[in-house]
Structure 1
Amino acid sequence: MVIRFKQSFIMTLILIVSLASAGTSWAADTSTVVLEKLILSKNEISVENGAQATVTVAALSSDATKKDVTELTKWTNPDDTIATIYNGKIVAKKEGTITVIANYGNKTEELKIIVTKQVKSLTKSVNSLELRKGKTGSIKLKANYTDNSTPEDVTVKADWSSNNETIATVVNGEVTAHSAGTATITATYGKQTVTVEVNVEIVSRLDLSVDQLSLLLKESLPVTLTATYPNGEATDVPTDVTKDAVWTTSNKKVADVVKGVITAYGAGTATITASYGTEEITLEVDVDTTRKLVVSNQNVYLSLDKATGKLQETIKLEAIYPDDKKVDVTNVAIWTSSNAAVAYVNKGTIFAEGSGSTTITAKYGDKTVTVKVDVDIARHLDLIEKVGMSVGQSKDLDLNASYADVTGTTNVADKAVWSSSDESIVYVSKGKISAYKMGEATITATYGGITVKTKVSVDVPISISLSAKTVDIKEEKSYAATLDAVYDITDSTKNVNLTSKAEWSTSDEKVAEVNSDGVITGVAKGTATITALYNKTKYTLKVNVGLVSVLEADTQLIILSSVADEDSKIGKTKTIVLKAKSSAGLNEEFLATDVTWKSSNPSVAGVSDGKVTGYTKGKATITAEYGGQKVTVSVEVDMIQSIEATHQSVDLKTGAKGPKEQQIKVTATFSDGTAIDVTDSAEWKTSNYKIATTNKGKVTAVAYGKTKVTVKYAGKTLSIPVEVDMLKYLQTDEVSLKLKVKEEIQITATATYVDGSEDNVSKAALWTSSKILAATVKDGKIKATGKGKATITISYGGKKTKVMVVVE
């Protein structure tokens, strides 16, 4: 019995030890979850001055779980005058850079905060880009700040993106084209955004070198593809984009295409399509399995005169088969002429029959080919237009003919039919003209169905004309007009000056005078017609005295400010510069005092010798008159599109840590987009001066509360909310006290503001006691005056807290 008990005890002991060992192993495999690290949504952030931003904090545990601990995180801030951070909310205060530290658990993480100038607008270097695939283009970006400082190149600093990166991508303003299409590039800096459209391989049209193509079986022919871009110009040299295009065929069994080379494989019709950029074009290909016909000459010229030309010509006709075999089918083809009276044909030999043109047709199988034939027919005749001669003089005229298949020209004067409109004046024979008496006659030459004419003047001027049709002169200035007769266009020495032989007159002596020698003198502003009478014929010219044909101003719109100083971008005055041109297009020289100036509204803007001055808000039109022309310039004074303030709201504090003051700058943007600082000239008001005051944009805290600062300029108004001593909560370092009679204790009241900053407000706060017989209080010093209980109430910035006091 004892032995069994011992055995049982031993087995039980072994089991307990085994279980304990197993329990120890299990416990060793169980690990404790610990905080690994903090993860910030951003480790560096840029915030515009006066703006806000948010970061989040996540705690990453050893079991790979993440937890949002933004509101539980404590922040260490080296300089809260640059920016404050509370519960992840960043409030930018002034320009600068700080590094704040996030602390949660036993982990920390750094956040770099960069407070930048407030961006008013962004200026891009281009509005759009036209790129070829694989090419790049640059976009430069400048930031215009609300403080009107010099615009800054922020190309590298900005955030860039593309709405379609398969077409174009962008890095720091450098755009790379990838495929055909349109993408929009977006640049963001501060709160401002601009976009630039990028067109890649955008073409307005495609052109093929042929409209239709006929091929024999296994025949290959190349075609050329040319792209034209929206600006109306062909592509850059080389213009051939054949190898860059995408080529397809509707039927590979009939014809296929590789980089513009089309090859015929079977009988039928196929459509070849070329795609390039965003456009495509098609070409119909006809593949003939039998043959095509080719003639040795498709343009034939024959003559009826055996001595000077050919009376006949034999044309060779060949049929080309699919295997490129050529067979002479001249004698077996069917030949016809459209006009046998001009030329007839027999087995390919064409015979001249009469003057004219005809078409010879050769047919073999189901194919036809045509030959154009001219018999003693010139395509063009060239004869001098005017001829000047003297009585008894003779001249040979050349009549040059151009033929269809003949290089150069041939003088056919002796073959043409010539006639004179008056043989008593001029006689003509085989191109030779002879002058018999003074007068004019028309010589006519006819050859091969074409007729040309020339005018012949015998001792009569070919033309008489004045030295000018229109003349511009100043008052009391002169111009010498001449009347000249042309007798021979090939010899200027034969021209005669008829000025002194003409009778001169003017249509208006009050405007211009003319003497017997053709000298014209300007009298007064206006227009007159000068007439030279010679041989019962009048020749006239128009004279403009003191007039101009064009009067232009250097600007069409002037923007002025009635309160501007000398350094302002928008001035109080601006001078209009005029430019005038004569009817001949020459620049006129004149003074501003020569011009008549007038303002449509002198109370808004006045003008003196071109200098425009703005007086009060409104619009006016300045009119300048000179030389019979008028030009107008629109003037806008104090016409503001908008006003902008550097701050949309203001938070101030009356405590020791401030800020107690905030300077607000106001910028006015005029109708032409120019912006100027109008802080000092604007009208400033506050809705409650007991809370905050304002003077030329400087807002000063007075006492706790909310108010609004209103700024007004040129009819535009802005309201800016102002909060003073806005607290999150008020607390004391003690909430209950036990004192003995006559015992004193100093407690501290701390104000925590909405931006997370703290301030000792013990002296600034209002302290009251519910029972002064038990305890009194002043500036946080509590004094026990008698046994009992008292409640000390602290009031500051709209918040209250209490301290319970028991006096024993």
Structure 2
Amino acid sequence: MQKGKVTAYAVGHAVLSAVLGGKTAKITVDVDQASTLTVSRQQADLKDGEQINLQPGVYEQLKLTSTFADGTKVDVTDKAVWTSKLATVADVSKGNVHTIDKGETTITASFGDRSVTVKVTVGVVSSLTLSDSKVLFSEEGETKQVKVESSFKDGTRKDVSSEAEWSTSSDKIAKVNEGLIKATGSGKAVITVKYGGQTETINVEVQQASRLAMSQKQLIMASGTDAQLQLTATDSERGVDDVTLKAEWSTSSDKVADVVDGLVTAYGSGKATITAKYGGKTVTVPVEVDVAKKLVVNKKSLSLKSGGTDTLVLTAVFSDNSEQDVTASADWSTANYNIVDVDAGNITAVGSGKSKLTAKFGGKSISVPVTVDELKYFKLNERNVALSVGETKQVQAIATYKDGTDGDVTVSGVWKSSNTKVADVKDGIITTYGKGKATISVKFAGKTTSLQLTVK
């Protein structure tokens, strides 16, 4: 100030004094002194401390407007002092913000003794969006490309699949590279993707099922036969899938039945359990090989004549109420081979008497009583015989069986003389040796009959 004339040199605030006659007068002078500062972006005013979101590598021009006490507004963008709190994230020159790297910083614009700030975020992610949140594989080696999209705070969206950090909870089940997931083994795994401080996960299931179903609930088999089981897996997304050849099969007893890819082969009598495992689930099927609930024979008893034959038919009733002729495969036995013999249900009467035939199959047994030469009557064709010494005579033994038929059993019977000095007998032929009396008897099928002999 010179002789009362004030000249402004720079922005600021000053107090001018004038002294005259021992008196002093003061005046306050503001040079370009703003009452308020306003930062605007793309013609929109920002509040002090407001945040703007930008992507790395862009330029964004900010404008600074000063409003003076008299209400006038002036663009002071080029006159202000601009600074960045973290220049590695974004720097600024004359209001032109240049973003460099991801992060956050504060831009400050100063003019006069006033200042205003703008928060700047660079490449800050607000959320991640996955193309798939769950991936199911039915086979090892299958692949699936999952994409991840980043939503930034500036409103932009970008596919960041190749930039994100991917990881797996188990590379034995699933591996991942830039979102390409590959199934490596049966089980469950979690794929994690990270980008911009945000994290999302993908559930991966390889050969997993919500339910397993077997084509048959029970197998009733005969030794040497095969039966094919079919295994289906159900999940909520893929539906029903035939996994017979993919499952792990096992048997509780390979002596009874074995299994390969669902094909069950019966080897020996007994019970076993076939187990199929797939997708973390297990299902079992009971198997019975030559196991009978009961046995039924076509005849409750047999009455035969010596040398006669007959046939028994053995039927096995299984637990599912199915029936099978097991005559040839059963184990047959007789209580007395001298009376009756049996081979695969074929009966042969050997000699007079009673016996029992037994058939065994599938853990069960059944018996049939057998009577050979069961007689109703037994007699000789002669009651009294008179002969001279040295004479012979043929007599017959006649058996009347229970069925009413008659048979000549002269040769089959066992003959006896009460006095061999008088006479002897063989096959019904009486031969006399001396005078006297004798009783000639014959025994057959437990019965005995006789005649009186007189030799003169």
For residue 82 of structure 2, the aligned residue among 504, 509, 521 is 504
Task: Give the CA deviation at 1:608.
Answer: 0.9
Q: Measured at CA, do residues 769 and 700 of structure 1 come closer, stay the same or move farther in structure 2, by a change above 3 Å? A: same
Q: In structure 2, what is the equivalent of residue 249 of structure 1?
A: none
Q: In structure 2, what is the equivalent of residue 663 of structure 1?
A: 229
Is this contact kept in 2: 1:668–1:677, CA < 8 A?
A: no
Give the secondary structure class of the aligned counterpart of 1:500. coil
For residue 110 of structure 2, the aligned residue among 530, 533, 552 is 533
Q: In structure 1, what is the equivalent of residue 167 of structure 2?
A: 598
Q: In structure 2, what is the equivalent of residue 581 of structure 1?
A: 151
Q: Does 1:481 align with 2:62?
A: yes
Q: Measured at CA, do residues 727 and 590 of structure 1 come closer, stay the same or move farther in structure 2, by a change above 3 Å? A: closer
Q: In structure 2, what is the equivalent of residue 631 of structure 1?
A: 199
Q: In structure 2, what is the equivalent of residue 464 of structure 1?
A: 38
Q: In structure 1, what is the equivalent of residue 127 of structure 2?
A: 551
Q: Does 1:514 align with 2:92?
A: yes
Q: Could you list the per-position Cα deviations for residues 463-490 of structure 1 after superposition, in whole angstroms to 9, with x for gaps in the alignment? A: 62332543333333221222235689xx
Q: Could you list the per-position Cα deviations for residues 196-228 of structure 1 after superposition, in whole angstroms to 9, with x for gaps in the alignment? A: xxxxxxxxxxxxxxxxxxxxxxxxxxxxxxxxx
**Aligned partner letter, 1:466:** S
Task: Give the CA deviation at 1:728.
Answer: 3.3
Alignment partners' CA distance in 1, 2:298 and 2:90:
105
Alignment partners' CA distance in 1, 2:302 and 2:188:
74
Determine what percentage of the aligned residue pairs are the same residue.
29
Task: Give the CA deviation at 1:652.
Answer: 0.4
More strand by share: 2
Alignment partners' CA distance in 1, 2:251 and 2:187:
28
Task: Give the CA deviation at 1:631.
Answer: 0.6
Alignment partners' CA distance in 2, 1:621 and 1:788:
81
Q: Measured at CA, do residues 620 and 760 of structure 1 come closer, stay the same or move farther in structure 2, by a change above 3 Å? A: closer
More helix by share: 1
Q: In structure 2, what is the equivalent of residue 764 of structure 1?
A: 329
Q: In structure 1, what is the equivalent of residue 178 of structure 2?
A: 609
Q: Measured at CA, do residues 732 and 620 of structure 1 come closer, stay the same or move farther in structure 2, by a change above 3 Å? A: closer
Q: Measured at CA, do residues 646 and 716 of structure 1 come closer, stay the same or move farther in structure 2, by a change above 3 Å? A: closer
Alignment partners' CA distance in 2, 1:527 and 1:776:
104
Q: In structure 2, what is the equivalent of residue 694 of structure 1?
A: 259
Is this contact kept in 2: 1:486–1:496, CA < 8 A?
A: yes
Q: In structure 2, what is the equivalent of residue 799 of structure 1?
A: 364
For residue 346 of structure 2, the aligned residue among 773, 776, 781 is 781
Is this contact kept in 2: 1:728–1:752, CA < 8 A?
A: yes
Is this contact kept in 2: 1:748–1:780, CA < 8 A?
A: yes
**Aligned partner letter, 2:231:** K
Alignment partners' CA distance in 2, 1:499 and 1:464:
10
Q: Could you list the per-position Cα deviations for residues 672-719 of structure 1 after superposition, in whole angstroms to 9, with x for gaps in the alignment? A: 999866543332221222322222334344443222223344665555
Q: Measured at CA, do residues 762 and 625 of structure 1 come closer, stay the same or move farther in structure 2, by a change above 3 Å? A: closer
Q: Does 1:524 align with 2:101?
A: yes
**Aligned partner letter, 2:90:** A
Task: Give the CA deviation at 1:572.
Answer: 5.4
Alignment partners' CA distance in 2, 1:540 and 1:462:
13
Question: Aligned ranges for residues 732-771 of structure 1 at < 5 Å?
Answer: 732-771=297-336
Q: Measured at CA, do residues 724 and 603 of structure 1 come closer, stay the same or move farther in structure 2, by a change above 3 Å? A: closer
Give the secondary structure class of the aligned counterpart of 1:501. coil
Is this contact kept in 1: 2:127–2:152, CA < 8 A?
A: no
Task: Give the CA deviation at 1:552.
Answer: 1.9
Q: Measured at CA, do residues 721 and 607 of structure 1 come closer, stay the same or move farther in structure 2, by a change above 3 Å? A: same
Task: Give the CA deviation at 1:593.
Answer: 1.2
Give the secondary structure class of the aligned counterpart of 1:508. coil
Which runs of 5 or more residues in structure 2 are unaligned? Answer: 1-28, 374-456
Q: Measured at CA, do residues 675 and 507 of structure 1 come closer, stay the same or move farther in structure 2, by a change above 3 Å? A: farther
Alignment partners' CA distance in 1, 2:269 and 2:188:
45
Q: Measured at CA, do residues 745 and 696 of structure 1 come closer, stay the same or move farther in structure 2, by a change above 3 Å? A: same
Q: Does 1:705 align with 2:270?
A: yes
Task: Give the CA deviation at 1:749.
Answer: 1.7
Q: Measured at CA, do residues 621 and 721 of structure 1 come closer, stay the same or move farther in structure 2, by a change above 3 Å? A: closer
Q: Could you list the per-position Cα deviations for residues 335-380 of structure 1 after superposition, in whole angstroms to 9, with x for gaps in the alignment? A: xxxxxxxxxxxxxxxxxxxxxxxxxxxxxxxxxxxxxxxxxxxxxx
Q: Does 1:731 align with 2:293?
A: no
Is this contact kept in 2: 1:530–1:543, CA < 8 A?
A: yes
For residue 652 of structure 1, the aligned residue among 211, 220, 223 is 220
Task: Give the CA deviation at 1:650.
Answer: 1.4
Is this contact kept in 2: 1:669–1:675, CA < 8 A?
A: yes
Give the secondary structure class of the aligned counterpart of 1:690. coil
Is this contact kept in 1: 2:125–2:153, CA < 8 A?
A: yes
Alignment partners' CA distance in 2, 1:653 and 1:598:
51
Is this contact kept in 2: 1:553–1:631, CA < 8 A?
A: no
Q: Work out which of the two has the higher radius of gyration on C-alpha atoms and give 1 or 2.
A: 2
Alignment partners' CA distance in 1, 2:321 and 2:168:
60
**Aligned partner letter, 1:629:** G
Alignment partners' CA distance in 1, 2:187 and 2:327:
56
Task: Give the CA deviation at 1:629.
Answer: 1.9
Which runs of 5 or more residues in structure 1 are unaligned? Answer: 1-437, 440-458
Question: Aligned ranges for residues 310-459 of structure 1 at < 5 Å?
Answer: none
For residue 721 of structure 1, the aligned residue among 286, 298, 301 is 286
**Aligned partner letter, 2:117:** T
Give the secondary structure class of the aligned counterpart of 1:594. coil
Is this contact kept in 2: 1:649–1:722, CA < 8 A?
A: no
Alignment partners' CA distance in 2, 1:619 and 1:695:
26
Q: Could you list the per-position Cα deviations for residues 54-82 of structure 1 after superposition, in whole angstroms to 9, with x for gaps in the alignment? A: xxxxxxxxxxxxxxxxxxxxxxxxxxxxx
Is this contact kept in 1: 2:125–2:198, CA < 8 A?
A: no
Q: Measured at CA, do residues 641 and 758 of structure 1 come closer, stay the same or move farther in structure 2, by a change above 3 Å? A: closer
Give the secondary structure class of the aligned counterpart of 1:476. coil
Q: Could you list the per-position Cα deviations for residues 601-659 of structure 1 after superposition, in whole angstroms to 9, with x for gaps in the alignment? A: 54454321122334456776544333x32314164556979764447951403299x9x
Q: Could you list the per-position Cα deviations for residues 438-474 of structure 1 after superposition, in whole angstroms to 9, with x for gaps in the alignment? A: 99xxxxxxxxxxxxxxxxxxx9777623325433333
Give the secondary structure class of the aligned counterpart of 2:101. coil
Alignment partners' CA distance in 1, 2:313 and 2:189:
67
**Aligned partner letter, 1:650:** Q
**Aligned partner letter, 1:580:** S
For residue 681 of structure 1, the aligned residue among 230, 246, 251 is 246
Q: In structure 1, what is the equivalent of residue 6 of structure 2?
A: none
Q: Could you list the per-position Cα deviations for residues 374-430 of structure 1 after superposition, in whole angstroms to 9, with x for gaps in the alignment? A: xxxxxxxxxxxxxxxxxxxxxxxxxxxxxxxxxxxxxxxxxxxxxxxxxxxxxxxxx
Is this contact kept in 2: 1:560–1:573, CA < 8 A?
A: no
Alignment partners' CA distance in 1, 2:202 and 2:150:
19
Alignment partners' CA distance in 2, 1:618 and 1:765:
48
Alignment partners' CA distance in 2, 1:771 and 1:730:
22
Is this contact kept in 1: 2:187–2:280, CA < 8 A?
A: no
Residues paired across the two proteins, number:
337
| TM-score when normalising by structure 1 | 0.36
Give the secondary structure class of the aligned counterpart of 1:768. strand
Is this contact kept in 1: 2:187–2:208, CA < 8 A?
A: no
Alignment partners' CA distance in 2, 1:702 and 1:548:
70
Q: Could you list the per-position Cα deviations for residues 97-118 of structure 1 after superposition, in whole angstroms to 9, with x for gaps in the alignment? A: xxxxxxxxxxxxxxxxxxxxxx
Alignment partners' CA distance in 1, 2:312 and 2:300:
9
